[in-house]
Amino acid sequence: MTTAEQAYLRGAVALSHFFLRERVKPGDTVVDATCGNGRDTLLLARLVGPAGKVWAFDVQADALEATRALLTGDGLLDRVEIVPAGHERLAEIVREPLAAVVFNLGYLPGGDKRQVTRPENTVTALHQAAGLLSPRGMITVCIYTGHPGAPEEGEAVENWAAALAPKQFNVWRSCQMNRPETAPYLVFVEKGESNPLFDI
């Protein structure tokens, strides 16, 4: 891991990685719901180790190829299943309990900016992800605000997250207070232990 990758909490992606490093353990199964250029998949592949598994979803051939190339370059493709499908099909394809599901919304950096994640697919996938999470499992959602449709998608994610049962989930929204309101921000969800004392 390079110094730049582990250095500072410069934005929502860095903050999501901070939480993922704390929570994802060797041997875990996790999902990158929007693998894009593969940077989140790469972190997850390092964290789960050789006994773990990363499912990496995307709908764009360029993204799938970029992820494959990045993971191959690091010698970690053996623990990654690259899935050429929309994350709204998550529960159809993945049946195992998950330690983490990572969403990085919007468009592929360096790619076609019209090919964005859509609120209806994102919320469908989030609902399925919440059902698959293990106790202490975490969903991270990096939300952007600058492209057409982005504010509506952010609102849909927040509405979904805010409606989760507090006895079953801890739900957070985190933004940078000294940046413009348009800066990317993070919503994250932790599944609680199945413990009647959880809601004290």
Ligand X SMILES: C[S@@+](CC[C@H](N)C(=O)[O-])C[C@H]1O[C@@H](n2cnc3c(N)ncnc32)[C@H](O)[C@@H]1O
Residue 59 lies near ligand X (rule: CB under 6 A): yes
Residue 87 lies near ligand X (rule: CB under 6 A): yes
For 86-151, give the DSSP string. Answer: -GGGHHHH--S-EEEEEEE-SB-TTS-TT-B--HHHHHHHHHHHHHHEEEEEEEEEEE--SSTTHH
Taking the C-alpha atoms of residue 153 and residue 170, their distance in angstroms, rounded to an integer, is 21
**Taking CB under 6 A as the rule, which mask of x and - marks residues 160-189 in contact with ligand X?**
------------------------------
Residues 107-126 that bind ligand X (CB under 6 A): 108, 115, 117, 121
**Nearest Cα to Cα of residue 98 among 27, 46, 174, 43:** 27
Using CB under 6 A, pick the residue from 19, 28, 30, 36 that binds ligand X.
Answer: 36
Using CB under 6 A, pick the residue from 16, 29, 34, 128 that binds ligand X.
Answer: 34
Report the 10 Å Cβ neighbour count for 124. Answer: 18
Residue 63 lies near ligand X (rule: CB under 6 A): yes
Taking the C-alpha atoms of residue 31 and residue 44, their distance in angstroms, rounded to an integer, is 8
DSSP state of 101: E
Using CB under 6 A, pick the residue from 23, 46, 55, 106 that binds ligand X.
Answer: 106
Residue nearest to ligand X (CB): 36
Q: Are 24 and 16 contacting, i.e. CB atoms less than 8 angstroms apart?
A: no
DSSP state of 193: P
Tokens of 68: 């494959």
* C-alpha distance across the termini of the chain, in Å: 39
Measured CA angle at 85 (ends 80, 86), to 5 deg: 115
Piece of the chain touching ligand X by CB under 6 A; list 2-10, 20-28, 54-62, 192-200: 54-62
Residue 165 CB, shortest distance to ligand X, in Å, is 26
Using CB under 6 A, pick the residue from 17, 23, 39, 46 that binds ligand X.
Answer: 39
Nearer CB in complex with ligand X: 36/137: 36
Nearer CB in complex with ligand X: 14/59: 59
Residue 58 lies near ligand X (rule: CB under 6 A): yes
Positions touching ligand X (CB under 6 A) are 33-40, 57-60, 63, 86-88, 104, 106, 108, 115, 117, 121
